[in-house]
Amino acid sequence: MSTDGAKNGTRWLPRLLGVLLLLMGLALLAGGIKLSQLGGSLYYLIAGIGFALSGILLLAKRRIALGLYGLVLLGSTVWALLEVGLDWWQLVPRLAIWFAIGVLLLLPWARRPLTGPASKANTALLSVAVVASGACALASQFTHPGEVFGELGRESSEMASAAPDMPDGEWQAYGRTEHGDRYSPLRQITPQNVYRLEEAWRIRTGDLPTENDPVELTNQNTPLKVNGMLYACTAHSKVLALDPDTGAEIWRFDPQVKSPVGTFKGFAHMTCRGVSYYDENRYVSRDGSPAPKISDAGQAVAQACPRRLYLPTADARLIAINADNGKVCEGFANQGVIDLTTGIGPFTAGGYYSTSPAAITRDLVIIGGHVTDNESTNEPSGVIRAYDVHDGHLVWNWDSNNPDDTKPLAPGKTYSRNSANMWSIASVDEDLGMIYLPLGNQTPDQWGANRTPGAEKYSAGIVALDLATGKARWNYQFTHHDLWDMDVGSQPTLVHLKTKEGVKPAVIVPTKQGSLYVLDRRDGTPIVPIREIPVPQGAVKGDHTAPTQARSDLNLLGPELTEQAMWGATPFDQMLCRIQFRELRYEGQYTPPSEQGSLVYPGNVGVFNWGSVSVDPVRQLLFTSPNYMAFVSKMVPREQVAAGSKRESETSGVQPNTGAPYAVIMHPFMSPLGVPCQAPAWGYVAAIDLFTNKVVWKHKNGTTRDSTPIPIGLPVGVPSMGGSIVTAGGVGFLSGTLDQYLRAYDTHNGKELWKSRLPAGGQATPMTYTGKDGKQYVLVTAGGHGSLGTKMGDYIIAYKLSE
C-alpha cells in the first residue's frame, strides 16, 4: 500500500504553523517597536523576532525551529511570571496561544517532516518549555490574587438596629427604612437552608422598550412591601400593586408619561428606582409623638388617602396615589400632582426629572432631580425641594448656589441654573431632625472653570439639612473641584457604630472613588480618619485642579494601574492595550482630563454607584459589591469637534459641553476586541468589619456567560450594577452582575451558596419580606439595563424555601 498520501498529509502542519508564527511574530514585532518607542516593555519586540524566525525555519523545514521556539516560549514564561506571578487570568493572554502551538509542535506529525541534525536537544528544549508553561498554568489554579479569605467570627456585636421601627416582614422604603441600611431582621432563610430556595411566582409587567425609547432604558426598581401589598414601578413610571404571595395584580396606575418632543429617544436615560410610601397611622400611633399640624386641605387628603404612594415620573411630575386602590389623591397639590418643572427654567427633553424615590418624613416629601451630564453649561437647577406630605405645598427649597435662602421660591421666579443636584436617594434621621443628601456636580463634569462658589463647596459630597427649615447643618466634600464625574450616587447609610470611644450615630457614604466615608451624622466629624492626599496636577488651559483630595482610611481601592496590568483576550490586543496605556496620560487616581486623553481609574461608573451598600447593624458588618473599571476622558477643543458628533450615553461618546471651550470624548478603556484593557477581576463581593474597619473577605463575583458571543461562564469577576441586601439569617443577596443571576452569599465568609438564572438582566437591588402565608420571600426585578447591554425584559420574580 502506498503511504505517499499519508506522508503528504503530515506536511501541511509545520507549514501552517510556520505561516502562523511568521504572521504573528511580525504583528508582535510591529507593535513591539511602537511600544518600545513609548517607553514600554521590550518583550513584544524580542518575542516578535523570535516567533517570526521560528516560523521562517518551520517553512524551511529546519528542525532547529523547535529549539528556537522552545527558547522563546521559555523566555515568555519567565517574563510572564516576573510580570504577574501565578495569576491565571493574566497568564492566559501571555502564554495560552504559545503553549498550544508548542504542544502542536511536539506532535510527531509536526516533527517528522523537519530536516537537519538529528539532535534531541531541540525537542528536549521545547518539551521543557511546554512543561514549564503548563506547570505555571496548573499552579495558578491554586492562587487567588486580589481576593481576601476570612470569616467574621461573631453572630452579634451587642448592637441593635437604630432604624425606624416597622414590622420585621415589611420593606417600606427603597433602603427598607429611611436609614437606607438594606438590612432585614428576617431569619427563616439561612446559610444551611438557602439551597432550598425556589421560584414562588413570576409576573411580567408588560412594560418593554419601544423604538421611541432611549438606549439607556433601565429597570432598577426595588419594590416595597407594605399595607399587605407589593408596590413596583416600571421604566415608563407605571405602578403595579401585587399580591405578595402570588404576584397577582391588584391594581395598576399608568401616569401616561409624555415627551415634549413626542419621543423619548433624546432622553439621557429612563428609569424608576422606586416609589415612596406614607401612612398616616404610622405617626399618629407613635408613643409620645404629637400629630403633625395639617391644613384643612391636608386633612381632607389624610381622610381620603390615609395610605399614599409618591411616584416620580419621567416627565417631571410627583404624583400622590392612594395605596389602597391606585387612584390619584385629587386633594394633594394640583389634582394630585406636583409639577417639578416649576421654577426650573428651560431644559431639553428629558433633561430634568427624578429617577429616584422621594424621601419621606412625618411632615415632608423631599425630592431632588436628575440633570443631564455634560450637555451644556446652562442646565436646570439641582434644587432639592420639600413639600408638605399632606397637601403638597412647597415648605422649603435648598439650592447649592443660594444655600442660605430656603424660603419657598416666589411665583414666577426660577432657581439658579446649573447648581449641584441630587439624583440618587437621600436618607433621613427624624430623631436628629436631618436629611442627608448625596450630591452630584455642577455640569459639565470634566470642565470646572465655570464652577460657582456653591458648587466648589458642596459638589461631590454630602450635606445634612435641617428638616424643619431646609438650612444646611453641615457638609463634607469628598472630591474637590471634581473633574472626573465623582458625584455621590450611593444612598448614605445611617447606622449606630460600636467604636473604641463608645457607640456613635454614623452615616456611611460609599463613593465612586472607592472610599467609604464614615462620619458622625450629628455634625459631620469623621469617625474613620480621612486624609487629604496630594494628587496629580495640570488641568487643561483655563481650568485648575485641587492640590489634594480626601481619602478615607476605610476604602476598597484597588492598586493603581500599570502597563503590566493591561489585559486582552490575546497577546495582540493585550499589546495594543499596553500601547494605549502608554499613549494616555495616567499618573494615578485623579489624573486630570487632558487633550492627550487621560485614564480615569476608578472610572465614571465608580467602585460604588447607586446600589450603595448594605449593613448588618447587629453583626456590625458591611456587605457590598465593588467594581473596578477604567474609563478614558479626552478633552476636545470646541473648534475641533466634528460636525454631527453625538453622545451614546452620559458615559460614552462625544459629550457636547455646549458653552464650555471643550467637548469631551468618554468611553470605557477597552481593547479592539471589546474586552477591558485592565486585567480582571472587574467585580467582587466583599464584607467589612465595621468595628475594626478591616476587609473580612473579598471574592470575585460573576461570570462572562452573558457578556461574550459564546455563552461560557468564565469566573473572572464581572461588574455589578445594583445593590445588595443582608438579612439577620446571615445571608446576603445580589442580582446586579452582568450575568443574569440572583445569588445568595454567606455573609460570614462570602461563600456563594445558591444562584438562580434570571430571564433578563437583574440590574436592581433585591428585597425580602414575609408573605401572608408566614414565609420569607426574596424578590428581584429582572428587566435589564440598556447601556450595559444586558438582556431586556419586564419580570418581577419571587422566591421562597421549598417545603
Residues annotated catalytic, as ranges: 485
CA 158 to mean position of chain CA atoms: 33
- 747 within 8 A of 730, measured Cβ to Cβ: yes
State how far the Cα of 83 lies from the Cα of 85, in Å rounded to an integer: 6
State how far the Cα of 720 lies from the Cα of 740, in Å rounded to an integer: 11
Pairing, β 384-388 against β 394-398: antiparallel
- 274 within 8 A of 221, measured Cβ to Cβ: yes
- 486 within 8 A of 512, measured Cβ to Cβ: yes
Sign of CA dihedral 327, 796, 161, 501: negative
Half-sphere exposure of 679 (CA within 13 A, CB side): 24
- Residue 273: count of CB within 10 angstroms of its CB: 25
Pairing, β 647-649 against β 652-655: antiparallel
State how far the Cα of 380 lies from the Cα of 346, in Å rounded to an integer: 7
Indicate the burial class of 486 (C-beta count within 10 angstroms; 0-12, 13-18, 19 or more): buried
State how far the Cα of 598 lies from the Cα of 630, in Å rounded to an integer: 10
3-state SS class at 370: strand
- 105 within 8 A of 20, measured Cβ to Cβ: no
For 129, phi then psi, to 5°, come to: -65, -45
Helix-strand-coil percent breakdown of the chain, rounded to 5? Answer: 20, 30, 50
DSSP codes of every residue in 655-710: E--BTSSEEEEEEE-B-TTSSBSBPSP-BEEEEEETTTTEEEEEEE---STTTSSS
The contacts of residue 638 (CB under 8 Å, 6+ apart) are 660, 661, 662, 663
Reported as type and span, the H/E element at residue 509 is strand 502-510
User: In the numeric block, which cell numbers belong to residue 736?
Assistant: 446586579
Residue 356 identity (one-letter amino acid): S
Pairing, β 352-353 against β 359-360: unpaired
Q: Taking the chain, what is the end-to-end CA distance rounded to the nearest angstrom?
A: 70
Strand order, beta sheet including 239-242: 224-226, 229-233, 239-242, 249-253
User: Where are the extended beta strands (E) located within 710-792?
Assistant: 724-727, 731-734, 741-746, 752-757, 767-770, 776-782
Nearest CA-CA partner of 364 in 396, 386, 331: 386
Sign of CA dihedral 717, 549, 369, 364: positive
3-state SS class at 45: helix
State how far the Cα of 305 lies from the Cα of 197, in Å rounded to an integer: 37
User: In the numeric block, which cell numbers belong to residue 631?
Assistant: 474609563
The contacts of residue 586 (CB under 8 Å, 6+ apart) are 561, 598, 599, 601
User: In the numeric block, which cell numbers belong to residue 160?
Assistant: 441593635
